Amino acid sequence: MNSSRKVLVADLLDGCRRGDPKTQELLYKVLASKMLGVCARYARNSYEAEEMLQLGFIKVFRKINDFREEGSFEGWIRRVMVNTAIEVYRKEQKSLNVVDLSDVHDAPQQMFDMDGLEVRDLLAMVQELSPGYRLVFNLYAIEGYSHKEIAQQLGITEGASKSQLSRARVVLKEKLARMEGKNYESNVR
């Protein structure tokens, strides 16, 4: 089955490079839900995520010949979606709500207790973060960018990236604590 999937992806890639609308539509159908999940992490709501998805696929089809087949085609599309989310963010935000690094305490980073937390709950919490926090959190924690890479992508300092991540973690921890408190109260009743 894996080999047939590779053939299918290769067939889709070749057809998209030729500009075949049916192949483009099939690629969209195959990957849209997965890429919508990527966009949703960066968006404030489902409408914005869908907008990012559409813009991202337009870029995929326009820049398909830039794919050099050095990694997976799906990975390349994912990168296009993340870059599209960054561009949408830049257009909507004039500047990040940057907290001075000296305001960030040197407290040890704490991990979240994820037991019983649904993916949709975590996604909702991330979507509620301020745009700057959400963007840096996703780029660092989900996509695996370094603070140096984030700083370069967003035109900020590494310290600002670290600060945004630290604040995002604090906000998420507070939201998680409130959620756990509500769950505890409902179980006691």
Q: Which amino acid is at 92?
A: E
Using 50, 70 and 90 to split pLDDT, how confident is the model at 152? Answer: confident
Three-state secondary structure call for residue 10:
helix
Long-range contacts formed by 7-15: CB under 8 A, 24+ apart: 9/73, 9/74, 12/73, 13/64, 13/67, 13/69, 13/73
pLDDT tens, residue by residue, 36-62: 999 999 988 889 999 999 999 999 999
Domains and CATH numbers, the chain: 2-92 (1.10.1740.10), 101-188 (1.10.10.10)
Question: Averaged over 124-147, what is the pLDDT?
Answer: 89
Average pLDDT, the chain: 80
In this predicted structure, the answer to whether residue 97 has a pLDDT above a threshold of 70 is no
Structure letter (DSSP) for residue 138: I
pLDDT for the residue numbered 69: 85
Residue 131 in contact with residue 92, Cβ under 8 Å? Answer: yes
pLDDT tens, residue by residue, 72-85: 889 999 999 999 99
In this predicted structure, the answer to whether residue 8 has a pLDDT above a threshold of 80 is no
Rounded distance between C-alpha atoms, residue 172 and residue 170, angstroms: 5
Using 50, 70 and 90 to split pLDDT, how confident is the model at 65? Answer: very high
Provide, rounded to the nearest whole percent, the portion of the chain with pLDDT above 70: 76
Q: How far from the centroid of its chain's Cα atoms is residue 17's Cα?
A: 26
Using 50, 70 and 90 to split pLDDT, how confident is the model at 95? Answer: very low
pLDDT for the residue numbered 101: 45
More confident residue, 85 or 180: 85
Quickly list H helices, 63-157.
Answer: 73-92, 119-128, 131-137, 147-154
Which of 36-45, 126-135, 178-187 bottoms out in mean pLDDT, i.e. has the lowest? 178-187
Q: Which amino acid is at 150?
A: I
- Paired tokens of 120: 């949709």
